[in-house]
């Protein structure tokens, strides 16, 4: 689910190009990724969607974890995101650092910052399983010098809300059922649903269900995702259960199923949605 860019990835038309994320890896085992904010990536309050920020975190953390595990390879095991949501102008930065790089796992911590004078936007953590290297895995160079690359391409960017652009369909808002076709636009290097896009689907499903249950326009503030299997066929569809609902916030449990693979459970999540401050 983690995307280290091998040659040809992402393709010319891909969500990572439209997000216009730039990534910098440094020799001190840290990295940063920057996302230009946009109304098309934001909820009604002006805060960036949690799923979009999870995509930023996934991209920043995945590259750093791959370096930490090199020459072996990695698979994202879990991602947690804890937001202090507010409207942001300009870029959002995800600063990653390695907490542990062991034989079987890599653990990262990610700080989310804005550059508009009020930096704190939240925190994230990620765990990765270390896998034996295969010939098909991209070669990850160690960062001997500061290296910076951008996913943006000429003309890339959003002209419609991100949910519409990726093809997200709300099947039943009140029960948190949403569906996403698995197109090349949202695939990762393995041809499966990109990890940040899985978070985007979970975010949408929980937020719809919790708005109905809470009776207020809550927005996703926390995501806890456990990645169990790759979604390779699609469409992916959500099954949501509201755990608690009050006017100020609610919590939900979301399962992401690969409907085209017999309803295989691919991702398990818990979500908190809170009323904007």
Using CB under 8 A as the criterion, which residues of the chain lie in contact with another protein when the complex forms?
77-78, 80, 82-85, 99-100, 104-105, 107, 109, 120, 122-123, 125, 127, 129, 221-222, 224, 226, 228-229, 243-244, 246, 248-249, 251, 253, 265, 268, 270, 272, 274-277
Q: Nearest approach, Cβ of 228 to another protein (angstroms)?
A: 6
The least distance separating another protein from the CB of residue 105, rounded to whole angstroms, comes to 6
Give the N- to C-terminal CA distance of the chain in Å, as an integer: 33
Shortest approach of another protein to residue 70 CB, angstroms? 18
- In the bound state with another protein, the residue whose beta carbon lies nearer, of 156 and 251, is 251
Instruction: Give the E-state strand segments of 1-104 in sequence order.
Output: 22-26, 30-36, 73-83, 91-101
CA angle (124, 128, 134) in 5-degree steps: 145
Q: 210: helix, coil or strand?
A: helix
User: What is each CA distance from 83 to 55, 65, 68, 88, 221, in whole angstroms?
Assistant: 14, 22, 26, 13, 5
User: Is the Cβ of residue 186 or residue 210 nearer to another protein in the bound state?
Assistant: 210
Dihedral of CA atoms 171, 172, 177, 183 in degrees, nearest 10, equals 20
Instruction: Give the nearer residue to another protein in terms of CB position, either 15 or 192.
Output: 192
Q: Which lies closer to another protein via its Cβ, residue 19 or residue 206?
A: 206
Which C-beta is closer to another protein: that of 59 or that of 213? 213
Pair 57, 21: CB distance under 8 Å = no
Total Cβ atoms within 10 A of residue 30: 16
Give min distance, CB of 184 to another protein, in A.
27
Q: How far is the CB of 203 from another protein (least distance, A)?
A: 15
Q: How far, in Å, CA of 224 to CA of 55, rounded?
A: 13
Q: 161 or 217, CB closer to another protein?
A: 217
Closest approach, Cβ 267 to another protein, in A, equals 11
């Amino acid at each position: 689910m983690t995307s280290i860019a091998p040659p040809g990835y992402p393709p010319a038309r891909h969500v990572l190009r439209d997000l216009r994320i730039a990534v910098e890896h440094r020799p001190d085992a840290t990295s940063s990724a920057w996302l230009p904010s946009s109304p098309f990536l934001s909820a009604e309050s002006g805060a960036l969607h949690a799923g979009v920020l999870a995509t930023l975190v996934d991209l920043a953390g995945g590259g750093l974890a791959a370096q930490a595990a090199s020459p072996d390879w990695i698979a994202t095991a879990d991602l947690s995101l804890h937001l202090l949501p507010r409207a942001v102008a300009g870029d959002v930065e995800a600063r990653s650092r390695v907490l542990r790089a062991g034989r079987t796992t890599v653990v990262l911590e990610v700080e989310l910052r804005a550059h508009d004078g009020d930096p704190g936007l939240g925190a994230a953590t990620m765990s990765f399983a270390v896998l034996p290297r295969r010939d098909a895995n991209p070669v990850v160079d160690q960062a001997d010098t500061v290296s910076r690359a951008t996913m943006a391409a000429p003309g890339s960017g959003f002209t419609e809300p991100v949910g519409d652009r990726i093809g997200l369909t709300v099947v039943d808002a009140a029960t948190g059922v949403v569906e996403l076709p698995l197109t090349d636009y949202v695939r990762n290097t393995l041809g499966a649903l990109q990890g940040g896009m899985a978070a985007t689907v979970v975010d949408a499903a929980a937020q719809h269900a919790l708005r109905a249950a809470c009776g207020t326009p809550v927005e996703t503030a926390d995501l806890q995702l456990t990645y169990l299997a790759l979604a390779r066929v699609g469409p992916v569809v959500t099954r949501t259960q509201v755990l608690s609902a009050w006017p100020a916030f609610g919590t939900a449990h979301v399962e992401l199923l690969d409907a085209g693979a017999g309803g295989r459970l691919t991702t398990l999540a818990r979500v908190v949605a809170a009323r904007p401050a």
